[in-house]
Structure 1
């Protein structure tokens, strides 16, 4: 072999080594730069999907709170990298979805009353909603990613109805706020224990604990103590101002005419406090939804009158009333409720739905005062809860007491129409009276009666000598189907939830019939005034 051939062989070997070196370097560069960039893109896209998943969870939780129907939704905890022939992938990206104690939502200075009307509008509910602070423990739900390359990935958090991303540099909201909408305040507390990690898809099934089927009217009754809501949150007051601004609910000038009612937002320890304008009635809805295990339950918090008992029943007549046992979220909750009357009778009630009970009170055969006591507690808890004891305390939040004045029967059917100088339909010096209210005249084909939600009549000639208030209800043909008389006195008479039965107990209130209510008030001087109302059943 010549020396020239030997040199050629060495050259080939050196070229192979150089080529191999280039391949190794190229693979190393690919592994070190291209693979991480591609995987970072995959992780970023996954994170975008998870954020959308958390918004879906948020909507499912709010929907469950409002309707009680659970809508399972999935959260993609992790994803997968593409297969590679020569390069090596790290472990698949994963994440953890978990709940964390957040603190307690608090509703402060809220009283169940409408300041625009005199007196207490909802006395039984106001026993519970009396301006004191009500607390509702809640949790956050957060997704924490575990990525190999997307190092600045946010933690995505749901709390108080808002989804936001938490970066090292600050928070970025992903949804609007559902707490305030005009005069409506909606609070959803989150409960349950959840901590699930992995790379697959987790199906989350929100559980209704207390569904917001009831809305109560609240306002502030003390000057300088505005209705406010404290929200435990990681978001600042400035962020909440932005959220409220975006939905048109922030009104720093406290302008009473622009439809926005949150006039101040302040940072508090571990949260923010939203202040609402004074002198306005707000509609409050509360609910509780659970995720994971140990979602919990609720307990009875107070008893309230849902459909009141007339304050002026007639001897021997029967009148219905409805009470509700509610949890602290103001929603009905099933519990044993008992009722009794001092002189009249109240048979066992009917369950209309869990927590809602209908009773019928039959007045005694003699006029005078009577009391109807209702409670979900028992005599074993003390005399103040004993529905048959004179010491029964109607102001206890677990009790309802109706004070009535039984009227002597003065006519057929509903107790009116006979004798006296007060004649239905007359207008003799009508300016001597003022009907402040004659509202809510409704026909009830079942259970065959007519309702008047509010009556308020006032003496206007200064001698405070009201004497009688008479009602007649006639059908389209002018036939009087019911009469009702109330003996009154003084300067003013008012009643709520008045119920009038047909004079003929066999008469059926007709659906679609247009009935006319005629109300006439008289005084001791012989003056009278008549008002009429119509309603189609």
Structure 2
């Protein structure tokens, strides 16, 4: 059928074309809007998500830094979570970029050294004698893997958290805890950590920690770069420029004389060895060192424990006691980081000119407690007078002989003469053990004896008639008594029928006498009825 202009069929055709063209235009507009959204809005949303994730990761690395400090200080296990990835917003009509997962790892090992220092006490100086002391450490590094943002890695070293420098521009996330006045705190990191996931759960394990610092001073070695004044020098592996250390991190620390760049990824921090006044007194530094293992929470610990290295005398040296007293002697076993070691064996031996001066208990070996201490008691012989040397050796320590041994000196003097104390006796019971038809009378006597000097030699019982005081009826010999604790039991026999002119004596007197080595004696008397 042919339609002509103006007919109804033509009108319907034109109207259909308009609908189709309108739908095409709407679809094209939607596609253009989606393209603009994908081109402009989606990247900005991704950048916002990545920026928020990066800020969160910075906070997590600060928390990790704080957890390292806490574990080093308390010795307790710690943990932290670090968000290394990013979650992009859900967009049903717009594809997301691939996962932006970063990595968390321990850096290649670096070496921390302390040079120009010596232990202040003699025992510590046996181990730390002025030679350079070196220890290996790592840094925890979070490297972002975002799709939109290009941002620097974040680092935690155990004494500082920061963003890695970009063209010498360092963003410090925390202050430094390395040098504070005369306190030096070195936290060494060890372990095997290299992981990439959205969030990493970490464990912080103490390998070597302690509560007490060790005192060090400058060894006095002349430093030609410092006008002949001695220094204690800390050498650190770091990617932070020396001028940032000197002008920002260590600004205001009066003991820091200079920070220099060694050109090999390390800096030297020079600490003054003596005061700046005319007296030039040695500056005593309190050094705390700790070693921690950083690992994924699901992994097993791999860092080796700290070995016992040397010991120090902590109490009892130079004691002066009487021969009736004892001296308590204590040592502490420490590892190479100067922290206490539990379960190390220490042997103590006492000696003096002229023979054995006394006993040491317990023996032969003493194990250190949870704080690294081992304690013994020296008990001198009663007749010893003079100077005693007690040598202690840590048989499981790995240091040289001078480091793993120490000595105590104890002066023993005679005590004042004490007055001799006499013994005493009290009859507590007497009973007849013979029957009415027996030819002789028998008695058992019980008495309590006090022997304060412990030198009792004789216990005697006498059975006598009051009418014949000068002629005892019977006397037992000293071998016939039984002593149990403080009680003596004696057996007496009346043989008066053969020697007494009064054979039916009704009353007997029983007397018990005790005597000690000094000739001091005591006695007690009671009577018994011989007729009943």
Relative to the length of structure 2, the TM-score reads: 0.66
Equivalent residues of 1:310, 1:319 under 8 A apart: no
Q: 1:374 aligns with which of 392, 395, 405?
A: 392
> Could you tell me which residue of structure 1 aligns to residue 211 of structure 2?
213
1:286 aligns with 2:307: no
1:115-149 per-residue CA deviation (whole Å, 9 max, x = no partner) reads xxxxxxx2111111211122221111111111111
Partners of 1:41 and 1:144 lie apart in 2 by 18
Larger Rg computed on CA atoms: 2
* Alpha carbons of structure 1 residues 185 and 378: separation in structure 2 relative to 1, 3 Å: closer
Partners of 1:408 and 1:41 lie apart in 2 by 82
Equivalent residues of 2:387, 2:412 under 8 A apart: no
> Could you tell me which residue of structure 1 aligns to residue 126 of structure 2?
127
Correspondences of 1:277-316 after superposition (within 5 Å): 277-279=272-274, 280-292=283-295, 293-310=301-318, 312-315=320-323
Shift of 1:69: 2.1
Partners of 1:239 and 1:160 lie apart in 2 by 18
Equivalent residues of 1:160, 1:231 under 8 A apart: no
* Alpha carbons of structure 1 residues 350 and 37: separation in structure 2 relative to 1, 3 Å: closer
1:103 aligns with 2:110: yes
Tell me the C-alpha RMSD between the 2 structures. Answer: 2.6
Q: 5+ unaligned residues in a row in structure 1: which ranges?
A: 114-121, 250-259, 386-392, 414-537
1:397 aligns with 2:403: yes
Q: Secondary structure at the match of 1:107?
A: strand
Q: Secondary structure at the match of 1:337?
A: strand
Shift of 1:39: 0.8
Correspondences of 1:77-156 after superposition (within 5 Å): 77-113=84-120, 122-150=121-149, 152-156=150-154
1:24 aligns with 2:39: no
Shift of 1:243: 3.9
Shift of 1:399: 0.8
* Alpha carbons of structure 1 residues 53 and 323: separation in structure 2 relative to 1, 3 Å: same
Q: Secondary structure at the match of 2:72?
A: helix
Partners of 1:77 and 1:353 lie apart in 2 by 38
Partners of 1:33 and 1:167 lie apart in 2 by 30
> Could you tell me which residue of structure 2 aligns to residue 76 of structure 1?
83
> Could you tell me which residue of structure 1 aligns to residue 360 of structure 2?
346
Equivalent residues of 1:352, 1:358 under 8 A apart: no
1:149-193 per-residue CA deviation (whole Å, 9 max, x = no partner) reads 11x222111114211112543432111101111111111111111
> Could you tell me which residue of structure 1 aligns to residue 484 of structure 2?
none
* Alpha carbons of structure 1 residues 378 and 154: separation in structure 2 relative to 1, 3 Å: closer
Equivalent residues of 1:176, 1:243 under 8 A apart: no
Partners of 2:328 and 2:318 lie apart in 1 by 9
Partners of 1:167 and 1:126 lie apart in 2 by 39
Shift of 1:314: 4.6
Moved more, 306-315 or 84-93: 306-315
Q: Secondary structure at the match of 2:94?
A: coil
Moved more, 42-51 or 69-78: 69-78
Partners of 2:192 and 2:95 lie apart in 1 by 37
> Could you tell me which residue of structure 2 aligns to residue 533 of structure 1?
none
Correspondences of 1:92-491 after superposition (within 5 Å): 92-113=99-120, 122-150=121-149, 152-166=150-164, 168-170=166-168, 171-199=170-198, 201-224=199-222, 225-245=230-250, 248-249=252-253, 260-268=254-262, 269-279=264-274, 280-292=283-295, 293-310=301-318, 312-315=320-323, 317-334=325-342, 335-342=344-351, 343-344=356-357, 345-348=359-362, 349=366, 351-364=368-381, 365-377=383-395, 396-404=402-410, 406-409=411-414, 411=416
Partners of 2:345 and 2:237 lie apart in 1 by 35
Shift of 1:366: 3.5
Count of aligned residue pairs for this structure pair: 379
Shift of 1:2: 4.0
Equivalent residues of 1:186, 1:285 under 8 A apart: yes
Q: Secondary structure at the match of 1:36?
A: helix
Equivalent residues of 1:54, 1:156 under 8 A apart: yes
Shift of 1:317: 4.0
Q: Secondary structure at the match of 1:45?
A: helix
Shift of 1:372: 1.4
1:196-237 per-residue CA deviation (whole Å, 9 max, x = no partner) reads 2112x3222211111122211111131534112111112121
> Could you tell me which residue of structure 1 aligns to residue 73 of structure 2?
66
Partners of 1:244 and 1:8 lie apart in 2 by 78
Shift of 1:37: 0.6
Q: 5+ unaligned residues in a row in structure 2: which ranges?
A: 223-229, 275-282, 296-300, 419-532
Equivalent residues of 1:60, 1:70 under 8 A apart: no
Shift of 1:315: 4.4
Equivalent residues of 1:321, 1:360 under 8 A apart: yes
